[in-house]
Amino acid sequence: MTTEDVPVLIERRGAVGILTIDRDSRLNALSRGTLYALGRLGKELVDDSAVRAIIVTGAGTRAFCAGADLKERQGFTLDDVRHQVGLYRSELGILDKSPKPVVALLNGVALGGGLELALVCDLRVAASHAVLGLPETSLGIIPGAGGTQRLARVVGEGRAVEMITLGRRLSAAEALSWGLVNHVVPEGENLLDATLAWLQPIANGAPIAQAAALKAIRASFEVPLERGLELESVYYDETLRSRDRDEALVAFAEKRKPVFRGE
Ligand code: COA
């Protein structure tokens, strides 16, 4: 079986599901098959009640993802390109709306659609050698997979304009200082192990609370403040009615760590 048959690998490490784009020879660029595989396997992990967090990463050490597969795209008609851009929304929507936190583990360059994929995720962890950028305007186009919308929400309008119009590429350290990545793994540490350790509060956490928190935070970008505060109350109530909340109170009284079951 070739890499093209299975462009994305899936594995589970404890409560963490891991999707790895396995196209190192093309710097893990997003072909049509890769987008479909991310959608299909993403759904598998979202539907798996034993999985509490999802990592999306790339094979090798050179690239998380170098964006659209420009070699595949050479043979595309304009309608093919439009269809492909639609796949970013339809196929990556499952990760975008995941009730479990999704983490992009940037093991190398994240350019164009690669950074847009990382922006679909809730959190971003980077290797110290990672480079992040949206070079689309230098190719005569604009980011078409959410980059113009999501980047500004994360780093603010001025910095988004700078990255997109100047084609400015950021080192991992710069991305950390801009808030574009949440955590940088120091050189020499095992990237996946360090990320799994960083994710322990989620992997051991209360899934209902995690999902409610994500829904509330995501809503803050969609609705006016008054409505957002109402929604926060609704989601808070979901956690109040959970057994995990009772378990946290009992564990506190018993001076032990809570064991959350997602109930
Ligand atoms: N689509 C398809 N193949 C890609 C690719 C992409 N987006 N990016 C890189 N590759 C391929 C290269 O063609 C090369 O294949 P080859 O060995 O058969 O020639 C291989 O991956 C390695 O890339 P290379 O350019 O030799 O590596 P590098 O370390 O010199 O440069 C990059 C790395 C990421 C800076 C460079 O590959 C690049 O600019 N890629 C395009 C990124 C981009 O503009 N993405 C946005 C698209 S909207």
In the reported structure, the alpha carbon of residue 66 is separated from the centroid of ligand 1 by a whole-number distance in angstroms of 6
* 136 in catalytic set: yes
C-beta 133 within 6 A of ligand 1: no
66 lines ligand 1 (CB under 6 A): yes
Instruction: Give mean pLDDT, residues 147-166.
Output: 97
Query: Fold for domain 8-203?
Result: 2-enoyl-CoA Hydratase; Chain A, domain 1 (3.90.226)
CA angle 50, 186, 19 (to 5 degrees): 30
Identity at 21, one-letter amino acid code: I
What's the token pair of residue 12?
């589970």
pTM here? 0.96
Domain limits, the chain = 8-203, 207-253
Q: Which of 136, 157, 189, 232 is catalytic?
A: 136
pLDDT attached to residue 75:
87
pLDDT tens-place string over residues 52-84: 999 999 999 999 999 999 999 998 999 999 999
CA distance 127 to 183: 9
Local confidence band at 156 (pLDDT 50, 70, 90 cut-offs) = very high
State the average pLDDT over residues 87-115.
97
- Give pLDDT tens digits for 218-256: 999 999 999 999 999 999 999 999 999 999 999 999 999
Q: Which atom of ligand 1 is nearest to the CA of 69?
A: 1
Which among 177, 12, 193 has a CA at the least distance from the CA of 107?
193
Distances (CA, A) of 150 to 63, 71, 183, 193, 243: 21, 26, 19, 28, 35
Q: Tokens 């990237």 map to which residue? A: 191
From the CB of 170, is ligand 1 less than 6 Å away? Answer: no
Predicted pLDDT at 6: 82
Mean pLDDT in residue range 161-167: 98
Mean pLDDT of the chain: 96
pLDDT of residue 1: 45
Q: Average pLDDT of 30-41?
A: 97
pLDDT above 50: residue 170: yes
Q: How many angstroms separate the CA atoms of 253 and 263, rounded?
A: 20
Side chain identity, residue 131: V
What's the pLDDT at 3? 52
